[in-house]
Amino acid sequence: MPDRGGGPTGPRIRVGRPSRRARTLLMTLGVLAVLAMAFVMFAGFWTDWLWYRSVDFSSVFTTTLWTKIGLFLVFGLLMAFVVGLNIWLAHRLRPPLSAMSLEQQSLDRYRMNLAPYKKWVLLAITALVGLIAGASASGQWRTWLTYANGVPFGQKDPQFHLDVSFYAFDLPWYRFLLGFGFAATVLSLIAAALTHYLYGGLRITSPGARATGAATGHLSVLLGVFVSLKAVAYWLDRYGLAVKSSDFKATDNWTGLRYVDANAYLPAKTILFCIAAICAVLFFATLWRRTWQLPMIGLGLMVLSAILIGGLYPAIVQKFQVQPNEQAKEAPFIQKNIDATRDAYDIADVPVEDYSGKSTTDDGAKLRASADEAASYRVMDPNVVSPAFQQLQQKRNYYQFPKTLDVDRYKDAAGNDQDTIIGLRELNLDGIPKRNWINDHFTYTHGYGAIAAKGTTTGKNPKGSPDFTESGLPTTGDISSGTYEQRIYYGEKTEQYSIVGGPQKELDYEEHGEKTTSYQGDSGVSISNPLNRAAYAVAFNEPQILYSGAIGEGSRILYNRTPKERVEAVAPWLTIDGDAYPAVVDGRIQWIVDAYTTTNSYPYASRTTLGDTTADSLTTDQRAVVAQQNQVNYIRNSVKATVDAYDGTVKLYEWDTNDPVLKTWSKAFPGTVTPRDEIPKELMDHLRYPQDLFKVQRELLTRYHVTNPAQFYSGSDAWQVPDDPTKKESGAVPPYYLSIKMPDQTAQKFSLTTTFTPKGRPDLGAFMAVDADASSKDYGKITLLRATTTVKGPGQVQSELNGNDDVAEFVRNLKGTDSDIEYGNLLTVPLEGGFLYIEPVYTRGGTQNYPLMRKVAASYGSKTVFENSLGEALDAVFGVTEPGTTQPPAETTQPPATGDAALEKAIADAQKAYAEGEEALKKQDWSAYGKAQEDLQNALQRAAAAQPKSGSANNAGNSGSASRKPDAGGGG
């Protein structure tokens, strides 16, 4: 009978298999864990499919998915087959008997242990390398789709005379195939060598031959394949020279062949290709010769040739042929680089026009009249006045405006286009009175209304504030007469998900009581059924979605709610501009998103890093930049996209009808891009030239405005984008949207403008503007004016303004009111041969914590003025006192002689007016301050008239012009 325990030795502890109950529990837990992991993976896939279906871009999801699956299977299975085949072949070619040696005796133990599991080990190894290779290949879906759907560019490179599409679409795929071939060959070689060694085909320490004939033949074939692939690599490297980046002092990020490439590296690659091909034949010949002597000699010669021909020879050519006369040697290649770069960035048709920078007339009245026609001067800076929108139009803490507002065009009361500052009142979760899951995701779901103000004038209540054309809650005004859909469910600041349309009511807005609403759009994904709810609960890691009573029949979940996210998701092949902007179009708020097609494989075109090129003084904390690390050397604004702010509908409109990259992607994803001729007329009125493309082009034009190779090489005419002089932090000056009349135009055009300074110099080097109005026949035409005389640059103008006595007095007066001065955009306008600078100046602080436009600075030629309004600034800078009259130069003014009593009375009145002005300034009583300034100006004029003929009269006159009442008007 078995021992049941007890006895003198005590109970026996039984160690064995767990009980059936424990095994069942463990098995159940294991199955549940696997099911849970499977459902997590399924939830991600399922929610993605539901989202793409909800935006009617399911074809993007399926095309991308099947392409990834196809690449995974094809290259995963191919890698597994190749490696597995070579392992099987090495095992099949093993010697029948292993030599009796210590080495083989030690390997016998491994062979014996491996014998029962050989098939499983083979399957495990092939599965592992197949999974890794398949996962790597699936990441090349973009490369495959462009290769399979590539459209010719219709342009050939100047070296090999191949269509650009070969470099943009074909060469990347060939390089991937080559890399895959190398990986498969190396893994097969390693696996075969280990198998031969394990089974005695290769020996390291045993006496006699180191390898059997079968092992020698097998491994030599693999080495022959490797060397053959190296030959192919040498051949493709020839074409790779056309898109190769290198350091060259003529320009940063040089791309393409130089003299040494064309005359040393190119023939070297051809020679090495031939040597590698011969070496590969020698390796294959070992199948018959059974010796590695000749192929190893060939391999040694190939390595030596690579060092001498591929390395030393080009260095000798560079040292002794190029460097002594580099400019002449490189000139033809510099010309190819210039031409290709200008083509690739769409600046080939941008001529440089000489512009004196010095006024062609001294007639102040004529200049003043021309100034009114030259531009619609925007005194409302969208980069400054957002806090004013916030203070005056926020209405509730749970609303917000972006830090940088947008500039657009809307009709005024007379039906004329008017530059307009616009911003949307978006949702701000941080301002919700009480934060909880219901409030965050069910109650507070949307913003409300578009707020707009005139760009060229200011309001009167308070003075210097924005002159709103659309305001209130709900908004009323000039935009669609307030009849548009004002609810904003999709916006730049709307980053959280919301659940709408179900039993839980949403807060619509609060104005004379709380208004509620329920979402009526068909956007988002229905989560009425348990499967979708469970999938989103897992995907969003929010279990309340699964069981909350606030979700029921009709509930829909909205997510991916920023315009950039939505466009990137439905068109992953596009690069998105950093600044989406809103427009009221046909009764709806539409976000307009500019999108680009790019490549970094345009032969000879120099590359640029988009994140660096599109950064400026505003991108540090106010607006995003386009794809930070993307390096490109070809870019087109090929798509204009819209996102409906209410229902999130995404539309992709073809814009550049000649872009081969867009045509390629349209073939890969048919039906996703709407033809250009279907763009609605009302939408067309709000489309504009994109800022990020303009910034990329202006950066390239700092060097590539030069088309002469010798001048380009010397860098004597290089420019730079100046730092923004109105900001304390360093950063390039941003481009400005402005309605402007260029010298060759008869009327103002909505434009995007920027300035350049010579490399290392502060004076103005050039001015650039592009017709930004999409409805204009000249849309996209870039005008580049090069100053031929010394002209003050933006930084110099700002320095003069900072040192101006009137500004110093204005700042001194502000100190007592606890207010600060804030400079607006420094606008540059070509005018009658010279350049006019206009800059609004704001005060911020005191009783109001938002900027109010108080002054306008103007500079033309050598004169800089600081006045109360745009009109006064223009009058002063051109010396005009009344329409049709010109103020004579100050040094020729002859004041009439008067008595001492009049002079003393004027001085006393001036002192009294100044004291009253100071008192009014402390109290922030702008009406009293304005009256005091009028009295002061009057007294100073009387004092100047009463003085005897001397230079002091001139000084008094200048002082008087500095102290005028703050006038918020921006007319002129």
Residues 6+ apart with CB under 8 A from 854: 464, 841, 842, 843, 868, 966, 968
Secondary structure element (H or E) that encloses residue 408, with its range: strand 406-411
Q: What is the pLDDT of residues 315-342, one digit of tens each?
A: 999 899 988 988 999 999 999 999 999 9
Alpha-carbon distance of 741 to 745, in angstroms, equals 6
Q: Is the pLDDT of residue 726 over 50?
A: yes
Confidence at residue 136, expressed as pLDDT on a 0 to 100 scale: 94
SS3 state at 160: coil
Confidence at residue 270, expressed as pLDDT on a 0 to 100 scale: 94
Helix ranges (DSSP H) in 290-398: 293-307, 313-317, 326-344, 364-374, 386-393
Q: Is the pLDDT of residue 897 over 90?
A: no
Which position has the higher pLDDT, 319 or 211? 319
Distance of CA 345 to the CA centre of its chain: 15
Q: Is the pLDDT of residue 959 over 50?
A: no
Which position has the higher pLDDT, 895 or 708? 708
Alpha-carbon distance of 751 to 774, in angstroms, equals 10
Q: What is the pLDDT of residues 346-394, one digit of tens each?
A: 999 999 999 998 988 888 899 999 999 999 999 999 999 999 999 999 8
Distance of CA 416 to the CA centre of its chain: 33
Q: Is the pLDDT of residue 890 over 50?
A: no
Alpha-carbon distance of 275 to 234, in angstroms, equals 10
Question: Could you tell me the strand order of the sheet in which 525-526 lies?
Answer: 498-500, 556-558, 525-526
CB 189 within 8 A of CB 87: no
Q: What is the pTM of this model?
A: 0.84
Alpha-carbon distance of 574 to 175, in angstroms, equals 23
Which position has the higher pLDDT, 927 or 366? 366
Residue written as token pair 């839980």: 504
Q: Is the pLDDT of residue 680 over 90?
A: yes
SS3 state at 935: helix
Confidence at residue 630, expressed as pLDDT on a 0 to 100 scale: 76
Rounded mean pLDDT, 150-164: 95
Confidence at residue 106, expressed as pLDDT on a 0 to 100 scale: 65
CB 860 within 8 A of CB 829: no
AA identity, residue 580: A
Confidence at residue 415, expressed as pLDDT on a 0 to 100 scale: 78
Q: Is the pLDDT of residue 966 over 70?
A: no
Q: Rg of the chain over CA atoms, in angstroms?
A: 38
Q: Is the pLDDT of residue 1 over 70?
A: no
Which position has the higher pLDDT, 31 or 250? 31
Q: What is the pLDDT of residues 187-198, one digit of tens each?
A: 999 999 988 888
Confidence at residue 958, expressed as pLDDT on a 0 to 100 scale: 36
Residue written as token pair 């699936």: 138
CB 671 within 8 A of CB 219: no
Instruction: Pick the range with the lowest mean pLDDT from 209-223, 406-420, 873-887, 941-955.
Output: 941-955
Residues 6+ apart with CB under 8 A from 420: 407, 408, 409, 410, 452, 453, 454, 455, 469
Whole-number Cα distances in Å, 441 to 55, 139, 433, 461, 495: 21, 35, 14, 37, 11
24 C-beta neighbours (distance < 10 Å), count: 11
Instruction: Pick the range with the lowest mean pLDDT from 2-11, 167-176, 820-829.
Output: 2-11
Confidence at residue 620, expressed as pLDDT on a 0 to 100 scale: 63
Among 742, 733, 746, CA closest to 771: 742
Which position has the higher pLDDT, 470 or 102? 470
Among 430, 428, 447, 440, CA closest to 544: 440
Residues 6+ apart with CB under 8 A from 115: none
pLDDT tier at 107, thresholds 50, 70, 90: low
Q: Is the pLDDT of residue 970 over 50?
A: no
- Residues 583-606 as b or e (16 or more Cβ within 10 Å = b): bbbeebbbbbbbbbbbbbbbbbbb
Confidence at residue 101, expressed as pLDDT on a 0 to 100 scale: 59
Q: Based on the number of CB atoms within 10 Å of its own CB, is 275 exposed (0-12), middle (13-18) or buried (19 or more)?
A: buried
Which position has the higher pLDDT, 459 or 8? 459
CB 642 within 8 A of CB 590: yes
Q: Is the pLDDT of residue 857 over 90?
A: yes
Confidence at residue 628, expressed as pLDDT on a 0 to 100 scale: 52
What is the rounded end-to-end Cα distance, in angstroms, of the chain?
Answer: 117
Q: Is the pLDDT of residue 956 over 80?
A: no
Q: What is the pLDDT of residues 740-798, one digit of tens each?
A: 999 988 899 999 999 999 998 999 999 999 999 999 999 999 999 999 999 999 999 99
> What does pLDDT average to over the chain?
85
Q: Tokens for 566? A: 């939505």
Confidence at residue 481, expressed as pLDDT on a 0 to 100 scale: 67
Instruction: State the DSSP string of 950-970.
Output: STHHHHHHHHHHH--------
Residues 6+ apart with CB under 8 A from 505: 443, 516, 517, 518
Residue written as token pair 């001085």: 907
Among 144, 50, 633, CA closest to 340: 633
Q: Is the pLDDT of residue 67 over 90?
A: yes
457-461, 593-597, 885-889: which has the highest mean pLDDT?
593-597
Confidence at residue 592, expressed as pLDDT on a 0 to 100 scale: 96
Q: What is the pLDDT of residues 429-442, one digit of tens each?
A: 999 989 999 999 99
Rounded mean pLDDT, 650-655: 96
